[in-house]
C-alpha cells in the first residue's frame, strides 16, 4: 500500500472557479483576492485580511507595519519552521528564542518575561501542529510590557483555546496556504488583523507601495499612480485566490475529518510503549494540521527509512532553528541552549494526515509502525 504524506482534496469546484478567472481580464490581484479577504475575515471574526504570496511575506510586512525594525528584538520559539525566524530577520530585527513546552512544543509563556530587554518590541508565538499557544498568558505579558504580538497560525486556521481564536488577542495573525496546509493553493499566505488603520498600509507594503493596481486601472482606465512608501512584491493573484475560495465552505467539514483521523491514530498508537503522543490541551480545539508522534531518537532515522520501504511517507517537523547552519555560531544560539526544543526535535515524527486519508490507510500506517518497532533492537 502507498500512503503519501499529503494528498490534496481540490477538485471540480476549484477548477470551475479557476476557469472563471481564466475567462476574465485580470489574473493578478483583483476581485477573487478581495472576495477571499472578505470571506476569510468573516470566518475568523476579525476586521480585515490582506492576502499575500506566502506566510513569510505576510509576516515580514506586518512586522514592519507595526514598527519592528533594525535594533529591535522579537521573542519567538526555536521549535518551528525556519520562516518564523527569517521573517523577523527580514524586518531587520533579531529573533530571541525562548524554549518550549514539552507537552505541546509551543512557546513556554512562563519563560518569556526573562527574555525581555529594553530592545524587545514584539512576541511571535507559533501555534505548532494546530495547537494554539497560551494566548491569554502571552497577552497578559504583552500588555504589561507594551509589546506587539504577531501570531504564526500557519498550522492553525480552525483552532481555539480558552475560547480564543487566532487573531483575537494579538495585533495580527499570519496564515500559510502552502500546498500541504489545511487551506491550500500551492503557495500563498495572509495577514489578518483587528486594527482598521493597518488595512491601507499593508496593501501598500504588499505591492511596491503603489497607490494603484492593475485591477484599479482595468476598472478606471489609466490614472496617475504614486509610490507612497517602500514596499515589496507580495500580492496574491486571482488564480491562487480562486483555489482558496471554494475551500472556505469546506473548512468545518474538513476539520471534522481531520479530527476523526487523529482519533484513529490515537486509538491505535496510545498503547505502544515506544511511542509517546502529545497530550490533549484542556479547553482547546486542535486544528490537526499535522499528526506528530515522539519515537526513540536513536531509532528515528531507521523508522523513517523502513516506513518508506513499506510505502508510508513521513517527515520531521521540525529541526530546531538554532541548530540550522545559518544560525549556528551565535553565542545565544548554541546547542543545549533550548533543551526541550532539542529533545523534541530529536524524537518527533509526523505521520500522514489529511481529510482524504482512508481508515485502511491509517490502519496500515499503525500496523507498519508496530512491526517496525517490534523489529528494532532493545536498548542496551
Using CA atoms, how far apart are residues 129 and 290, in angstroms rounded to an integer?
5
Give residues with Cβ within 8 angstroms of 299, minimum separation 6.
274, 373, 376
Active centre residues (catalytic): 181
Question: Whole-angstrom Cα distance, residue 27 to residue 196?
Answer: 27
Q: How far apart are CA 317 and CA 314, in angstroms?
A: 10
Closest CA to 150 of 205, 91, 110: 91
Site of grid cell 495573525: 173
What is the C-alpha separation between 186 and 247, in angstroms, rounded? 13
Q: Which of 144, 153, 139, 95 is nearest to 120 (CA)?
A: 95
Supply 298's cell numbers. 536513536
Residues 357/264, Cβ–Cβ less than 8 Å: no
SS3 68: coil
* Rounded Cα gap, residues 251 and 39, in angstroms: 12
Sequence-ordered list of residues with C-beta below 8 angstroms from that of 275, at least 6 positions apart, any chain:
269, 293, 294, 295, 369, 373
The Cα–Cα gap between 314 and 336 comes to 26
User: Which residues have C-beta within 8 Å of that of residue 374, sequence separation ≥ 6?
Assistant: none
Return the ∠ at Cα 70 (arms to 68 and 71), rounded to 5°: 100
Q: How far is CA 295 from the centre of its chain?
A: 23
**Strand 73-76 relative to strand 94-97, pairing:** parallel
Amino acid at each position: 500500500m502507498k500512503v503519501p504524506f499529503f494528498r490534496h482534496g481540490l477538485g471540480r469546484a476549484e477548477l470551475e472557479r479557476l476557469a472563471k478567472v481564466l475567462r476574465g481580464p485580470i489574473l493578478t490581484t483583483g476581485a477573487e483576492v478581495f472576495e477571499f479577504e472578505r470571506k476569510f475575515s468573516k470566518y475568523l471574526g476579525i476586521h480585515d485580511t490582506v492576502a499575500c504570496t506566502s506566510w513569510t511575506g505576510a509576516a515580514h510586512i506586518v512586522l514592519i507595519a507595526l514598527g519592528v525594525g533594525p535594533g529591535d528584538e522579537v521573542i519567538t520559539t526555536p521549535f518551528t519552521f525556519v520562516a518564523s525566524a527569517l521573517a523577523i530577520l527580514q524586518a531587520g530585527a533579531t529573533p530571541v528564542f525562548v524554549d518550549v513546552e514539552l507537552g505541546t512544543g509551543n512557546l513556554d509563556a512562563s519563560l518569556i518575561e526573562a527574555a525581555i530587554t529594553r530592545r524587545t518590541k514584539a512576541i511571535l508565538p507559533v501555534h505548532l501542529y494546530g495547537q494554539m499557544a497560551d494566548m491569554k498568558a502571552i497577552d497578559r505579558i504583552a500588555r504589561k510590557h507594551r509589546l506587539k504580538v504577531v501570531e504564526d497560525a500557519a498550522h492553525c486556521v480552525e483552532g481555539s483555546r480558552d475560547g480564543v481564536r487566532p487573531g483575537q488577542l494579538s495585533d495580527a495573525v499570519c496564515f500559510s496556504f502552502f500546498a500541504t496546509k489545511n487551506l491550500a493553493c500551492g503557495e500563498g499566505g495572509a495577514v489578518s488583523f483587528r486594527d482598521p488603520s493597518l488595512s491601507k498600509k499593508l496593501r501598500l507594503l504588499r505591492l511596491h507601495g503603489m497607490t494603484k493596481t492593475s485591477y484599479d486601472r482595468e476598472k478606471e482606465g489609466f490614472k496617475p499612480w504614486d509610490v507612497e512608501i517602500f514596499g515589496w512584491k507580495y500580492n496574491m493573484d486571482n488564480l491562487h485566490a480562486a483555489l482558496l475560495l471554494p475551500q472556505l465552505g469546506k473548512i468545518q467539514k474538513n476539520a471534522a475529518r481531520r479530527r476523526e483521523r487523529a482519533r484513529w491514530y490515537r486509538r491505535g498508537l496510545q498503547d505502544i510503549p515506544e511511542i509517546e503522543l502529545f497530550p490533549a490541551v484542556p479547553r482547546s480545539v486542535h486544528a490537526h494540521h499535522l499528526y506528530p508522534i515522539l519515537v526513540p531518537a536513536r531509532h528515528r532515522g531507521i523508522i523513517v527509512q523502513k516506513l518508506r520501504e513499506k510505502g508510508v511517507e513521513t517527515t520531521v517537523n521540525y529541526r530546531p532553528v538554532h541548530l540550522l547552519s545559518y544560525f549556528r555560531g551565535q553565542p545565544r544560539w548554541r546547542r543545549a541552549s533550548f533543551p526541550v526544543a532539542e529533545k523534541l526535535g530529536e524524537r518527533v515524527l509526523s505521520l500522514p494526515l489529511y481529510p482524504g486519508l482512508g481508515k485502511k490507510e491509517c490502519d496500515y500506517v499503525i500496523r507498519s509502525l508496530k512491526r517496525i518497532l517490534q523489529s528494532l533492537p532493545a536498548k542496551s
